[in-house]
Amino acid sequence: MDLDALRKEIDSIDQELLERLNKRVQLAQKVGHYKLERGMEVYVPSREEEVFGKLTANNQGPLPAEAVRAIYREIISAAISLEKPLKVAYLGPEATYTHQAALKNFGSSIPFTPMNSVPDVFTSVCRGDADYGVVPVENSTQGTVISTLDMLVESELTIVAQIYLKISHCLISQSPLEKIKSVHSKDNALGQCRQWLARMLPGVELVDSASTAASVEYAAKNPEAAAIASRIAAELYKVPIVEENVMDKTDNVTRFLVIGRTPTPLLGEGRDKTSLAFSLHDEAGSLLKALTPFSSRGINLCKIESRPSRRKAWDYYFYVDIIGHQDEPHVKEALEELEGICPVLKLLGSYPNSGL
């Protein structure tokens, strides 16, 4: 088959794909109208995971699973934007890693609003200015984002989804290495590159910025300054990349949360994760007592950490992630037992254990 014949066949397939995509969107619009008439949520992360799971299982290649998911992410994003205009707030400004995580989760057809801080994202969703919010919660190198944990306990919002984003930092500046006098970035980003900076730019001042994107904006106006940020931020502010992959660990991943006002339905079969926070009585063995309701039922704890509660000195909240959904009988039983043990118990949300 010659080149022209191959191109004609591709054109024919493109036309067929376009017709089928429009048919799919029309059906999605009918689903959207059904939901809106009954006060149901248009964005349902558990349903999306079912779709992605079926597509991955049925994919015969050569398209990799990641490509299939990315393509359908945009198809679903376009369909949602026609069903109901969603508004999503994120920790900004534009081109931050949180912005990239929001795009990965919601697609490019959804309007996004940058916010100045994590509490601002929560406030925007609480007030109804945004339908959902996206915030960072932990990094594989630097650990937990404290402001997000604090807001999860203080707010009435719930976690509805999670997103994992591979972080690839660049050193961005108008100057070469030998002429850089200061490096600016978010504190977490600087921490993820500390060894590289000490080796390649010893003695250079490290300056905490409001965000990685803001640091690039500063470097655009100050030739002797450099920023640690993403390639996308460098392109947005038109500042050259001096060095790529400057993070100390190549497997650098940040986990983000999607917060909303309506809980996510059960997926089941071990595909859900539940986050909660609780406090303990000041007595020997109290932590063991609090964890027993889970271990006795074979519930897997995939994360546990403590944080000062800010209610009184030396009082702590324990943040726990478990595998399972709060509506599953064995998880519900464990939570009811835990409630009788702990002075404070707060469910932070159940959501699909995916987002990779």
Residues marked active site are found at: 254, 256
Quote the DSSP letter at residue 89. E
Within a 13 Å sphere around the CA of 340, how many CA atoms are in the beta-carbon half?
7
Quote the DSSP letter at residue 354. -
Tokens (6 digits) for 240: 């050259």
Q: Which SS3 state, helix, strand or coil, does residue 33 take?
A: helix
For every residue of 104-155, DSSP letters joined together read HHH-TTS-EEEESSHHHHHHHHHTTS-SEEEEEEEETTTEE-HHHHHHHHHS
What is the CA 179 to chain-centroid distance, rounded? Answer: 36
Indicate the burial class of 126 (C-beta count within 10 angstroms; 0-12, 13-18, 19 or more).
Answer: middle
Which is it for the CA torsion 322, 328, 334, 335, positive or negative?
Answer: positive
Cα separation, 263 vs 258, in Å, equals 11
Pairing of strands 225-229, 182-185: parallel
Residue 107 amino acid letter: G
Crossing angle of the two packed helices 118-126 and 146-154, in degrees rounded to 10: 30
For every residue of 149-188, DSSP letters joined together read HHHHHHSS-EEEEEEEEE---EEEESS-GGG--EEEE-HH
For every residue of 248-299, DSSP letters joined together read S-SS-EEEEEEEESSPPPP--TT-EEEEEEEE--SSTTHHHHHHHHHHTTTP
Cα separation, 348 vs 331, in Å, equals 14
Q: Which SS3 state, helix, strand or coil, does residue 342 take?
A: coil
Other beta carbons less than 10 A from residue 302's beta carbon = 10
